[in-house]
Structure 1
Amino acid sequence: MSATTRNVQPVLAAFGKEGSGELVSSRYGVRIGDVDVVLISDGVLPLPTSTMSTNVSEADRNEWFDGRFLQRDMFDWALNIALVRSGERLILIDSGVGDGFEYFTRAGQSMMRLETAGIDLSAITDIVITHMHMDHVGGLNNDGVKAKLRPNVRIHVAAAEVEFWKNPDFSRTVMPESVPPALRKAAATFVELYSENIMQFDQTVQIAAGVSARVTGGHTPGHCVVDVDSQGEKLTFVGDAVFEVNFDNPDWQNGFEHDPEGCVDVRIALFDEAAATGSLLAAAHVAFPSIGHVAKTDNGYRFVPVQWDY
């Protein structure tokens, strides 16, 4: 199979000069009842396709990627964060990978894109960290970011997540060997920088009117999802509970999951919930803007992306 033709950089170079602005949209907003939600792309993380399906054969994996005209060896994982406004509260969900990882040159855009969108970081009242992997806390670790945030910003992290990263267990993960040390470093840096701002919670926490977080576990012991529920409408940001391959193959395990079997149960429950209620789902690693409905099929699930409202 030939290499993928999805190469954005040459296309941009052909249309605009450096510094002329982004020609590919990097943010998309929806209103859920009285609450505004904006998904923001942090970029993409090129990673081995083998990490998307550690419990299936190479042939099965290749069939899925071939069917989507994607390379067999490397896959561009989307990386998305979210910004939520409820009343006077402005809530950031995750922060992207940051700028501390030279091998992720096409990600780490979140903080810049927030400021480009006119979002003053000092206006953020709350931050929810779905889990403490580097692509979710890294943006907060960037030099100068803490100084731009308000001193009393509330950072909500599950207590089980904080405890896990004191001595993390990678025995059930299947990652490139360079990744675990980077994950440890990013989590430790995050806790060191923001220890006075971290507000731990057990199972659920109400962040603002219509906005709450709940622990699911699976991907990491303290992994949580964020529910936006207002005026009979709902959207759930599911963090890393769901990857691109999982709608067709919910039982495919991901190499970054610390409890692979548990994560299968978590995502099936989230899929069933979304399918039964008709609520929207958004995710960190589903193609931007990652917002859509979930429908059940005979063999699994089908993701139905929102129709972009121009």
Structure 2
Amino acid sequence: MSHITRNVQPVIARLGREGSGELVASRYAVRIGDIDVVLISDGVLPLPTSTMSTNVSEADRNEWFDGRFLQRDTFDWALNIALVRSGERLILIDSGVGDGFEYFSRAGRSVMRLESAGIDLAAITDIVITHMHMDHVGGLNVDGVKAKLRPDVRIHVSAAEIAFWKNPDFSRTVMPEAVPPALRAAAAKFVKLYNENIVQFDQSVEVAHGVSARVTGGHTPGHCVVDVASNGEKLTFVGDAIFEVNFDNPDWQNGFEHDPEACVDVRIALFDDAAETGALLAAAHVAFPSIGHVAKSGEGYRFVPVQWDY
């Protein structure tokens, strides 16, 4: 039986004069108590669907993608970063993939979108890197970006993450062949460029009032999530701990996970906490703007996206 799938090719649409702007929304803001949080789309990464479910059958994988009117072989993987303002501190969470990757030409938009939103990169006081995969540090590696940042910007990275990328282990990952060398190169370039700005932390760190990072491990040994809490409200940016397939199938493993079994435990703990407390979640690779609640649903979970506030 044939199944109609959504075309994954980019839709280019502009209104008015050429270069007047993007028709598709690329940023979305919410307020968590007294703290402002803005999710920003860095674009999309076209990847094989097999990387989303390395421990299940092709038939099971096809059923999930068919049910969402997505193609079975390749799909568009969302890539989101976040900007948080707490008092006088302006905190960037991750930086996108940057440039120099022909196969990721539809991403790398984060710096452009920050600037188009009127954000001066020099106003950023802190940067949190959830982990050092190239789609999270690559935006900082782009030529000219460091010169736009303030010389004393603090870049918070867990000590375990820094240690891991000195000699990374890819033995348990299932990635396209070109990816591991690119990951190694991006991580090495990031550390070399920003060595003097990197502030390492062990298990957790308070970045600003109401904004803290904590190590979960799993996806990478030093992977962290960022909690934003104010006036009884909470949002957690979960980085790469959760992917869209995991709401229905929390035990499905991802090819980019360096410790797949640990990842299952990490995301179930995040799901359970969000379902119990009603806190919001946002993620790097859930469809933009990725903000929503989590509800338990049978053996899995249900994602409840926020109602857009216009």
Q: Provide TM-score, normalisation by structure 2.
A: 0.98
Corresponding residue of 2:286: 286
Partner of 1:77: 77
Check whether the contact 1:45–1:77 (CA below 8 A) recurs between aligned residues: yes
Asked if structure 2 preserves the Cα contact closer than 8 Å seen for 1:213 and 1:225, the reply is yes
Counterparts of 1:240-255 in structure 2, within 5 Å, are: 240-255=240-255
State the 1:17 CA deviation: 5.0
**Structure 2: how far apart are the matches of 1:114 and 1:77?**
20
1:145-196 deviation per Cα after TM superposition (whole angstroms, max 9, x unaligned): 0000000000000000000000000000000000000000000000000000
Residue 136 of structure 2 aligns with which residue?
A: 136
Q: Which residue of 2 aligns with 1:59?
A: 59
**Whole-Å Cα distance in 2 between the matches of residues 63 and 9 of structure 1?**
26
Aligned to 1:9: 11
- In structure 2, the partner of 1:179 is 179
Secondary structure of 2:11's counterpart equals helix
Identity %: 84
Is 2:31 the partner of 1:31?
Answer: yes
Give 1:20 deviation, angstroms. 1.9
Residue 209 in structure 1 maps to residue 192 in structure 2: no
Separation in structure 2 between the aligned mates of residue 246 and residue 278 of structure 1, nearest angstrom: 18
| 2:277 aligned partner | 277
Q: Give the Cα separation in 1 of the matches to 2:302 and 2:228.
A: 22
SS of structure 2 residue aligned to 1:257: coil
After TM superposition, the structure 1 = structure 2 runs for residues 224-243 of structure 1, keeping only pairs within 5 Å, are 224-243=224-243
- For the Cα contact (< 8 Å) 1:215–1:225, is it kept in 2? yes
Contiguous gaps of at least 5 residues in structure 2: none
- On the 8 A contact 1:100/1:138 being kept in 2, the answer is no
Query: Which residue identity is paired with 1:199?
Result: V
* Cα separation, 2, equivalents of 1:231 and 1:7: 42
Q: Which amino acid aligns with 1:24?
A: V
Distance (Å, rounded) in 2 between the aligned partners of 1:173 and 1:147: 35
Q: Deviation of residue 100 (structure 1)?
A: 2.0
Q: Deviations over 1:259-287 (max 9, x none)?
A: 00000000000000000000000000000
Offset at residue 89 of structure 1 (A): 0.2
Partners of 1:185 and 1:197 lie apart in 2 by 19
TM superposition shift of 1:5: 3.0
> For the Cα contact (< 8 Å) 2:205–2:212, is it kept in 1?
yes
Q: What's the CA shift for 1:9?
A: 2.3
Quote the residue 1:258 is aligned against: 258
Determine the C-alpha separation between the residues in 1 that align with 2:212 and 2:180: 30
Report the Cα offset of residue 4 of structure 1: 2.1
Give yes or no for contact 2:8–2:75 (8 Å, CA) kept in 1: no
The residue type paired with residue 48 of structure 2 is P
Q: Distance in 2 between matches of 1:43 and 1:217?
A: 25
**In the superposition, relative to structure 1, how do residues 260 and 101 fare at CA in structure 2: closer, same or farther (>3 Å)?**
same
Give 1:162's aligned residue: 162
Q: Deviations over 1:224-266 (max 9, x none)?
A: 0000010000000000000010000000000000000000000
Deviates more, 1:15-24 or 1:299-308: 15-24
Matching residue's letter, 1:87: G
Report SS of the residue matched to 2:103: coil
Q: Which amino acid counterpart does residue 269 of structure 2 have in structure 1?
A: A
Deviations 1:28-78 (A, max 9, x none): 000001100000000000000000000000000000000000000001100
Give the 3-state SS of the residue equivalent to 2:62 in structure 1: helix
Q: What is the distance in 1 between the residues matched to 2:4 and 2:234?
A: 41
Contact 1:241 1:263 in 2 (8 A): yes
- Amino acid of the structure 2 residue aligned with 1:22: E
TM-score for both structures, normalised by structure 1: 0.98
RMSD: 1.0
